[in-house]
Homo-oligomer: A and B are copies of this chain.
Amino acid sequence: MSDTHSSSNYELPNIGGNPSSNAEGTNPGSFALSPTIQAGPEGARTFASPDTSGMPAPSEKTAWDFMPEGWIKKDGFETDYHRAEAWQAPEGFQPITQLESARMGITTPQMERVAEREPHLTPEQVRDEVAAGRMVIPANTVHLSHQLDPMCIGRASLTKVNANMGASPVSSGTDEEVEKLHWSIKWGADTVMDLSTGGDLDECRQAIIKNSTVPIGTVPIYSMIIGRKLSDLTHEIILESIEHQAKQGVDYFTIHAGVLRAHLDYVKKRLIGIVSRGGSLLAKWMIDHGEENPMYVLWEQICQVMRQYDVTFSIGDGLRPGGLADATDQAQLAELCTLGELTERAWRQGVQVMVEGPGHVPFDQVEYNMKLQRTICHGAPFYVLGPLITDIFPGYDHITSCIGATSAAYHGASMLCYVTPKEHLGLPKKDDVKQGCIAYKIAAHAADIALGIPGTRDRDDELTKARAALNWEKHFELSFDPDTARAYHDEDLDVDTDFCAMCGHDWCSVRISREIVEFASGKDENYAWEKAKKTAALTPEQQAILKQRGVLSPNEIHKLASKTVKTMPADDKGKANCHSDYVDADSAKDLQDDLVEIEGK
């Protein structure tokens, strides 16, 4: 019966958003990957826009709408003013910041370098994005004289990841922090924030800047109250401290200028008040002094100090929610409006701007948050902590938050501040830093693929080909963390066969699929799997990786592996005595049956 039911001539319903390029099969899976040039609403933007089809719509206004005093719009550019040609800088003006150079149409060496590192962008596109305020290059001129390798954060570029570190009063010191710096860079951190609140802050910061190839961010208020009561903090001390750190070479400052006295009333409605350290300190200062937030009041003066060294703003969200219950609430949104105002004011001072975003947001509210920020802050790059999308998994908040981070990046965030498994519990150790970095590289990379940034899926496709060819060496080589992948594989079966221990020989769908010769899959010549290979015994590093999992004893962990080594020994040419391309299927099955018998199952 029922062959008549055949629906092989399928027809898809039209449900809207139908990725027809895919359904046609001409280019499976790639419909989000073709970069297209968006005209922008009402043709307002005429500069080269490297937007891809997967990106959310850009903001209506950009930094071109908030030019410094003294810059003159040339005649004939009344509506077409979104480019350097439209503007006359003040007489004798010398650009210092990347934003100022970009506004003058100058392509700096840092912009060249950024384009080299992100080959989907030209130096001119980088310059134009910086001029529009939609991209920053956090590169303190002092840090550039050390080892800084310029990078960018913004709409058109790859999504970046920041790792936080820093000694606290009860833990860690300078050497350990420098070690963590190198460790985070190894695991993919694009920038690092030194959030030290203990030890010798000045020495630690200096050491980190000198040793770092990536931009370093700080929260200057932390050092302002070391050896001083918060209530003794004055406007003068604030400006001095900021100048001191700018001179040291810090690339970006988190300054919580958006928390205003008027917002504090909204905080009373919250379950968990203020969870930003900078925000809570400034709230306390305002209450103690009965004055407005000094960072807000001093904003233009702070800008002028930062401009001298091209320090980039990361305008802090001191009222970010500390739990789902407080997400997208009045306090957060009122502050966000102030962050928009501060963005405009900083741009008018020629300073580069990022804006920080919320830490706890239910999954359905992430897109709204990103869109609102983009609108209010006119496309300034959004730098988001997480966000966590549930509160009940302490110990796993690198996971709860990297889910929110993926959605945030897909909906417009440009940099993701990692969260480690120790969030809410204690100071991250080295392995926590690694776990945090990896979770966030996953988020950033997955979002870049979804956004359709050209080239981002290439490595995934290469790995898929290696997987199809059951070429384990290449599979691990293309993995983000080859040691761990190899260790997990070798735990059960430390020979490279054309199957793995997950399914075994008879049940390996990839192997079966390869046997169906009419399928091209797994036949890419460059990935051809030549022979079963005996891998070396587990290295100490791999053993350590397995031990971390801790549930089985090392003996138990290696039991199965040694079983397979015993029954499937490699011969002197390195060929394992198990099924492979040159052992016929029946012999392989026999061998497996023997194995099962030996193991008494």
Contact = CB atoms under 8 A, between A and B. Distances in A.
Interface in A458-500: 459-461, 463-465, 467-468, 475-476, 478-481, 484-485, 487-489, 491-493, 500
Contact of A173 (B2, B13, B277, B601): B601
B489 A399 contact: no
A168 B390 CA distance: 35
Interface stretch (A42-50, A197-205, A244-252): A197-205
Interface in A98-113: none
A268 B520 contact: yes
Contacts of A396: 438-439, 442, 480-481, 484
Contacts of A429: 491, 549, 551-552, 557
Contact of A1 (B168, B297, B515): B297
A234 interface: no
Nearest to A550: B548
Given A198-B504, A449-B390, A513-B275, A464 B324 contact: yes
Given A13-B375, A287-B518, A550-B547, A272 B1 contact: no
Interface size band for A: 35 or more
Nearest to A568: B170
Contacts of A28: 269-270, 325-330
Contact of A8 (B23, B338, B502, B595): B338
Nearest to A200: B601
A192 to B, nearest CB: 17
Given A25-B329, A275-B509, A362-B449, A479 B395 contact: yes
A536 interface: no
A391 B169 contact: no
Contacts of A432: 549
- Max count, chain B CB within 10 A of own CB: residue among A32, A395, A500: A395
B509 A280 contact: yes
A548 B560 CA distance: 20
Contacts of A171: 492, 501, 504, 560
A572 interface: no
Contacts of A39: none
A2 B301 CA distance: 11
A185 interface: no
Interface string A416-439: 000001111111011110100011
19 contacts: A2-B345, A8-B263, A54-B364, A168-B502, A169-B505, A170-B560, A197-B503, A264-B518, A267-B513, A323-B461, A323-B467, A363-B406, A389-B450, A390-B449, A394-B485, A422-B502, A424-B500, A426-B492, A550-B550
Task: For the complex of A and B, list the 3 residue pairs with the smallest distance between their C-beta atoms, beginning with the closest.
Answer: A8-B262, A273-B521, A323-B464
Given A8-B260, A168-B502, A273-B521, 7 more contacts: A15-B372, A18-B368, A25-B329, A168-B507, A170-B501, A280-B512, A394-B463
